[in-house]
Amino acid sequence: MEFILNWHPAIAVTVLCMVTVMISYAGLKLVRRYFTEDVLRQNHEVGGFIFNAFGLIYAVLIAFVVFATWTEFDNSKKNVDKESIELADIYHNSKALPEQYRQQVTPLLKAYTESVINGEWKSLENGKPSERSVESFNKLWTFFTTIDRSLLKNEIAYQETLKHMNDAGENRRMRIFDSTNNIPGIIWVVLLFGAVVTVIYTYFFYARNIRHQFVMTSALTILNTLILYMILLLDNPFLGYMRVDYKPFEYVLQLLNSGM
């Protein structure tokens, strides 16, 4: 299903809804062929009660999963923003370093930022960091931890820089973790099972005009399809058309190039 994530949402929604609606219509016609009106009407009272109970349970599950995936998606975006902010703070704090060190900071930060934009963002689709980014970040760490502190005139600024490095590393690790933190397969099985069952339940209620029943069944089918598609998008923050972008890192790169 990952290839669907790369489609424009309008195209993906249209295709998915058309396919699921056609399948639901075929199921409705099949049930009407083998079950008479009298047989279907006999189940209305009990079937309606069970359908309401099942729908309530499924709605609670859907609400929980949507909330969880939206929270994770939002956190993924925040982690990217925080990492870029820490890099900008490191750059600004580096201005308090002696000249011989200050000149080395910008190239190191640029190398890391460019590696994230040009390489790591693509590798996050597979939940993996890029070797170039790992190497660039390690070089940045090595640089700051090997500075001769006896040459420093502003020890406080240096300590703050190390703190920003720690925070940047933490947000970087969270960003990589977010790229692999997906909904467990068993939850997807339950979600799909619930969506299918809620649609099938509608087949066993009888409306004299099958077109009216088809419209109601289609509405439920489309709603289930849209919800599952939304969950799929939110569950993959670094994959597909709606993924989190790297604009915050572009801002850092512009800052480094401007020399401000």
pLDDT digits (tens, 9 = 90+) for 32-63: 787 766 766 776 666 677 878 888 999 999 99
Give ∠ CA 78-83-87 in degrees, rounded to 5. Answer: 145
CA 53, 38, 193, 9 dihedral sign is negative
Full-model pTM: 0.86
Tokens 């970087």 found at: 172
pLDDT beyond 90 at 259: no
- Answer for the pair 168, 83: CB distance below 8 angstroms, yes or no: yes
Report pLDDT for 32: 79
Report pLDDT for 40: 63
- Tell me what the pLDDT averaged over the chain comes to: 88
Q: What is the mean pLDDT of the segment spanning 235-258?
A: 90
Q: How confident is the model at residue 224 (pLDDT cuts 50, 70, 90)?
A: very high
- Answer for the pair 241, 5: CB distance below 8 angstroms, yes or no: yes
Report pLDDT for 1: 62
Q: What is the mean pLDDT of the segment spanning 219-244?
A: 92
pLDDT in tens, 136-190: 999 999 998 888 887 778 888 889 989 999 999 999 999 999 988 889 999 999 9
Domain ranges in the chain are 2-258
Report pLDDT for 70: 95
- Answer for the pair 28, 217: CB distance below 8 angstroms, yes or no: yes
